[in-house]
Amino acid sequence: MAGFFEKLKKGLEKTRNSFTDRINEVFQVAVYIDDDMYDELEEALITSDVGARTADEIIERLREKIRTQKISRVKDVKPALAEVIAETLNQQEPAPLDFPLVMLIIGVNGVGKTTSIGKLAYRFKEEGKKVLVAAGDTFRAAAIDQLEIWANRAGVDIIRHQEGSDPAATVYDSLIAARARQADVLLIDTAGRLHNKKNLMKELEKINRIIDREYPSAHKQSLLVLDATTGQNAINQAQEFQSVVNIDGIILTKLDGTAKGGVVLSISQTLGVPVRYIGVGEGIDDVQEFDAAQFATLLLDSDLDLEQFEHEVKPE
């Protein structure tokens, strides 16, 4: 766990330096817990890509926590803010992963969809799962070859057809293979032609029908891959996808490459969809399950007691 925490800390370095510096500046000049302090904190959140609406909600919750806990010293506000951020993120919790599992991975080109599939394949395999990958993005040049490279790195099998072939046929064959080989996890790549939503919707509907028909006993989840470096544009992109497909969770990539990691809060709140995984590096083992308490702690460089917080926020 220590290694995991250190890797997450290093991956969030750009975000932490920017976000923490802005928040610390507020607390360094604040003498009293007053409206000026709240206004400055809200502005710091917004400039970190938290989004105006989400920032407003966080500040209102912070005000309430300070009132109910009778916090009177400025130095005690920062841990309270970390708690509020973690609580905000915990409002949207991902569903448990049940097996056999079929994961539809969706997202536009360039967000890190193919690499995310490779990293997830490696992660599941390291957990002792039997993993299969399906190259369902048959339209993009070299998409199949790129996915095969990642499958080889992860040490898992891939089901692929020729470029330009029917993606539904690839999905069908992968489902038959997953059942025959008793795979625990089937990761399906999909095309991200968001500019033609009608075709995208028809294709995803067809794929979902095939999954329901050919593998009804499998548990299905659709995960949307978003690029954290695009900030608020990622939210607009996600809303477009939400209009054509049900999204069970978010994979937020390239979080190590942005100083505006506050977008995690905005995505979760605005979409009403949990962040399931985050990418904090380029290595094959650099996709990690999202943990709200750890994220809030690192984001604010706070001394939040993780074990106590987990117990209070997620009681057994």
pLDDT tens, 192-249? 766 566 777 788 888 989 999 999 999 999 999 998 888 778 888 888 888 878 899 9
Does residue 202 sit in the same domain as residue 306?
no
CATH assignment at residue 203? 3.40.50.300
Residue 64 in domain = yes
3-class SS letters over 105-144: EECCCCCCHHHHHHHHHHHHHHCCCCEEEECCCCCCCCHH
Specify whether the CB–CB gap between 85 and 299 falls below 8 A. Answer: yes
- Tell me the pLDDT tens digit for each residue of 21-67: 888 889 888 888 999 999 999 998 888 878 889 999 999 999 999 99
Spatial CB neighbours of 234, under 8 Å, sequence gap ≥ 6 = 226, 227, 228, 252, 263, 267
Residue 269 in domain = no
Does residue 12 sit in the same domain as residue 134?
no
Total number of domains in the chain: 2
**Hey, which residues does 249 pair with through a beta bridge?**
223
Question: What 3-state DSSP class applies to 44?
Answer: helix
Lowest mean pLDDT, pick from 104-108, 131-135, 293-297, 304-308: 304-308
Q: What is the mean pLDDT of the chain?
A: 85
Look at residue 102 in the predicted model and tell me its pLDDT.
97
Lowest mean pLDDT, pick from 19-33, 155-169, 182-196, 302-316: 302-316
Distance between CA 176 and CA 203 in Å, rounded?
19
Burial class (CB in 10 A: 0-12, 13-18, 19+), 62: buried
- Sign of the four-CA dihedral 300, 301, 306, 312: negative
Does residue 153 sit in the same domain as residue 227?
yes
Residue 279 in domain = no
Question: What 3-state DSSP class applies to 39?
Answer: helix
Does residue 113 sit in the same domain as residue 17?
no
CATH assignment at residue 74? 1.20.120.140
Does residue 138 sit in the same domain as residue 67?
no
Does residue 32 sit in the same domain as residue 51?
yes
Specify whether the CB–CB gap between 292 and 89 falls below 8 A. Answer: yes
Q: Which of 209, 228, 247 is the last residue of a domain?
A: 247
Match 């009608």 to its residue by tokens.
198
Q: What does DSSP say about strands 287-289 and 275-279: parallel, antiparallel, or unpaired?
A: antiparallel
The phi and psi torsions of 276 (rounded to 5 degrees) equal -95, -45
Residue 43 in domain = yes
Distance between CA 164 and CA 138 in Å, rounded?
5
Residue 283 in domain = no
- Tell me the pLDDT tens digit for each residue of 70-104: 999 988 998 899 899 988 888 777 888 999 999 99
Spatial CB neighbours of 2, under 8 Å, sequence gap ≥ 6 = none
pLDDT surpassing 50 at residue 4: yes
Does residue 107 sit in the same domain as residue 240?
yes
Does residue 19 sit in the same domain as residue 108?
no
Q: Is the pLDDT higher at 174 or at 239? A: 174
Distance between CA 224 and CA 50 in Å, rounded?
19
Look at residue 120 in the predicted model and tell me its pLDDT.
96
Its pTM stands at: 0.85
Residue 301 in domain = yes
Does residue 111 sit in the same domain as residue 215?
yes
Q: For residue 202, give the H/E element and its range.
A: helix 197-214
Residue 277 in domain = no
Residue 70 in domain = yes
Distances (CA, A) of 90 to 6, 135, 171, 313: 22, 33, 33, 8
Of all residues in the chain, the percent with pLDDT exceeding 90 is 42
Q: Is the pLDDT higher at 147 or at 7? A: 147
Does residue 305 sit in the same domain as residue 238?
no
Look at residue 311 in the predicted model and tell me its pLDDT.
37
Domain with 147 in it: 101-247
Specify whether the CB–CB gap between 168 and 214 falls below 8 A. Answer: no
Does residue 106 sit in the same domain as residue 202?
yes
Number of H-type helices and E-type strands within the chain: 13, 8
Question: What 3-state DSSP class applies to 226?
Answer: strand
Does residue 137 sit in the same domain as residue 218?
yes
CA 241 to mean position of chain CA atoms? 15
CA 279 to mean position of chain CA atoms? 8
